[in-house]
Every structure is written in C-alpha cells, then in structure tokens.
Amino acid sequence: MNQRPSILIARAVFPDVVEKLQQHFEVETTPAGVVWSSAELVQRLQGKAGVLTTGGERIDAALLAACPHLKIVANLAVGYNNFDLPAMTAAGVLGTNAPDVLTETTADFGFALLMATARRVTESERFLRAGQWKEWSLDLFAGAEVHGSTLGILGMGRIGQAIARRAAHGFGMPVIYHNRSRLTPELEAACKATYVDKAELLRRADHLLLVLPYSAASHHAIGAAELAQMKPTATLINIARGGIVDDAALAVALRERRIAAAGLDVFEGEPRVHPDLLTVPNVVLTPHIASATLPTRSAMAHLAADNLIGFLVEGRPVTPLNPEVLAA
C-alpha cells in the first residue's frame, strides 16, 4: 500500500477540518495560539507534501528550496500576498487561495466599519464607559452622513462590488470606483458604480473604502499625498491589507483632522499596530476580522482542505492560482 502523503496545518483550525484531512493524510497540527517562525515552519515542513496556511506564512524561494517535498500550499485566505507565486511556479509548487466563500461576509464588515467610523460608535462608547456622559446635547458625537453620501471604492473585485451593491441599493449612495481595469457595463449597472480616475476618487469620495490586493504596486497607495487630496470631512476604511495605507502618515492626518476619521481592520506589520494610531481618538481599530463569522471562517478552512485533497488525492485543486504547475 502506498504511504499516505504528509501535510502540515500551519495554524490551528476547526476540529472537523482536521478530521476531514486525516481521512486522506498523515496530519501534523499546530496548537492554538502558536505561530511558527520561518525557521520552525521549514523544520515542520520537512517531508510534507502539502501545507494549509492562513495568509500570514511567507512562502518564498528560500523556504521552497529548503522544503523539496512540498507540492502545494493552500491558503485559507483570499489574499495571497504571503506567496511569492513566481518562485512557487518555478519550484513546481501549486498555490491555492479561498475566494468567493468570504465575499458577502467581508462586504458586511466593510459596511459595519464604515458605519462605526462615520457615526463614531466606538469613540462615543469609550466616552460613555469612562463615565463622561453628563447630559444629552445637540452635537454630541455628531458624525458624518452615510446614506446618500458618495462612496469611493479603490479596488473593484468581488468584495468591492458586493460593498457597492449594499451602498447603492440599500443606502442610496452614489458609488464611484477606481480599479486596474474597468468593470463591464453590465457589472457597473448591477452595482450602480461609476468608474473615475484615482485623483477624482480621492477628491470626490465622502467615504473611501479600500478593497484592493496588496502588491509592490499597491504599497502605500494611500500616503500623505493621497490623504491631502481627500475631503477634510472624509472617512477612510481599510479592509484590504496592511501596507496599502502608510499608517504613520494616516495617524498624522487623523491627529491634524486633515480627514475626519478612519476605520482599520488591517495594519502594516500586524499584529503590531502603529503606536500613534492607538492614541488618536478618531479611528476605529479591529484585529483583521472582516471575514470572521463562524460559518465563513469554517467555509474558508474547508475550501483550503478541499484544495489539498483535490490536488494531492485527485489531481484537481478547486481554486488554483498557478495552474501552469498542473500542466507541467
């Protein structure tokens, strides 16, 4: 009988996902709360044909060279900026991600963060909890209007479109967007979104939501120069990736009220958060939870498991990122 392939689950996942994988593989798990360093990851990957990653594990040429048995890396995130995909393809290693299953949940959270930021939900709660609420007053925590205001979206993939539909159909918001490529007229009509260049997006948006993937090209896509072009009354929401916003420049813009407020779910160098962001009042901060509902996080982990099983057992991964590896 052929030996079953060995795989590593690089961060703790739900027990039913482990059980599903154990039906096909020798499985090494990772205890809850443990995050492997690169050296530990390389050590644990010796002899492994596959690994389930979460999006935080860097997969680059050095790791691939040190793990010659590796055939597939299955990310349970949709974003895969932790992959050096050309290096993976060169090494004949398949990468997969977890698209679609988190689109609507992440769009819900984008809207939640927009609402919390514009309407100053966490700032006013801190005030109340601190016992500072002495009387009702007309302008107490008066925020920015959401319904009917102009929503700008930078990055118009599946999640951006799901947010645009909520904004246009549910909140009567004019939606403008900028993206590497323009949507088809049918898709633009479905989410009632108008394509504009980046300068116009920055200038016109009352609320600017970032949903673009991180890459060298999108590094600091929003920095001091871009923040200076936004309205002083605008809010900025980042549910995309840390590094797309220059967090230090944003902290300055928030402190000096060059924009009104920001809502951030992702950070440069997370889980560290730029210390200046922790001291400005007009920012809502959440720990990378945009896709975090139990059904969605479960679907993401199952999709990653299905990619491992689909590829290593059946030769047919579900959501391959570099299918040229399959042809080779």
By the criterion CB under 6 A, which residues form the site for ligand GLV? 55, 77-79, 102, 291
24 versus 158: smaller Cβ distance to ligand GLV: 158
- C-alpha 164/C-alpha 170 separation (Å) is 10
The residue from 119, 178, 288, 302 that is catalytic is: 288
Distance CA 267, CA 243 (A): 7
Query: Shortest gap between Cβ of 58 and ligand GLV (angstroms)?
Result: 15
Residue among 310, 328, 327 at smallest CA distance from 72: 310
Active-site residue, 120 included: no
Residue 58 has φ and ψ, to the nearest 5°, of -75, 120
The one catalytic residue in 11, 120, 178, 241 is: 241
Of 175 and 212, nearer to ligand GLV (C-beta) is 212
The distance of closest approach from Cβ of residue 55 to ligand GLV in the complex, given in angstroms and rounded to an integer, is: 5
* Residues forming beta bridges with residue 152, ordered by sequence position: 176, 208
Residue 57 among the catalytic residues: no
- First-last CA distance in the chain: 27
Nearer to ligand GLV, 117 or 291 (CB): 291
CB of 56 to ligand GLV, least distance (A): 10
Nearer to ligand GLV, 202 or 245 (CB): 245
> Residue 210 CB: number of other CB atoms within 10 A?
23
Shortest CB 35 distance to ligand GLV, Å: 16
Angstrom CA distances, 74 to 55, 89, 173, 240, 274, stand at 9, 14, 37, 20, 30
Structure tokens, 181: 């490529």
Cite the active site residues: 241, 270, 288
